[in-house]
A and B are shown apart, each in its own frame.
Chain A
Amino acid sequence: MSSSMSKRLSNGSFLISRYIRTKARAFCSVQPPDNFLDSNQISKVFDPGYSSILHNSLKKTRWPFSALPNSSFLGPQNQHSLHPNRNGWIWAREFGSQAAMEPCTSDGLTVDGISSSKWTILEESESDWKSHAAAIAQSIQVIKRRLQWKKLMVRLDLLSAELDKPDLWNDPVHAGKISREHGSLMGKMKEVKAFEQELLEHIDMIKLAREENDTDLESDSMKALVRMRRDSKDKELEALLAGENDSCSCYIEVQAGAGGTESMDWAAMVMQMYQTWAQRRGYGVTVVDEMPGEIAGIKRATIKVDGEYAFGYAKAEIGVHRLVRISPFDSGKRRHTSFAAVAVIPILGDGSSRVQINESDLRIERFRSGGAGGQHANTTDSAVRIVHIPTGVTATCQNERSQHQNKASAMAVLQSRLDQLEMARQAQMNSQHTQSLTEISWGNQIRTYVLHPYRMVKDLRTNYEVSDPDSVLEGDLDNFILSYLSASLDKGEDERQD
Chain B
Amino acid sequence: MDKIPILRMGAFLLVTIQVDLYDRLALNLEADLVQTVNKTNAKGVLIDISAVSIVDSFMGRIIGNIAGMSKILDAETVVVGMQPAVAITLIELGLPLKGVHTALDVEKGMSLLKSMIDLSDPDEDQEAPEDDNFAE
Does A associate with B in a complex? no
Binding site for B on A (CB under 8 A): none
Binding site for A on B (CB under 8 A): none
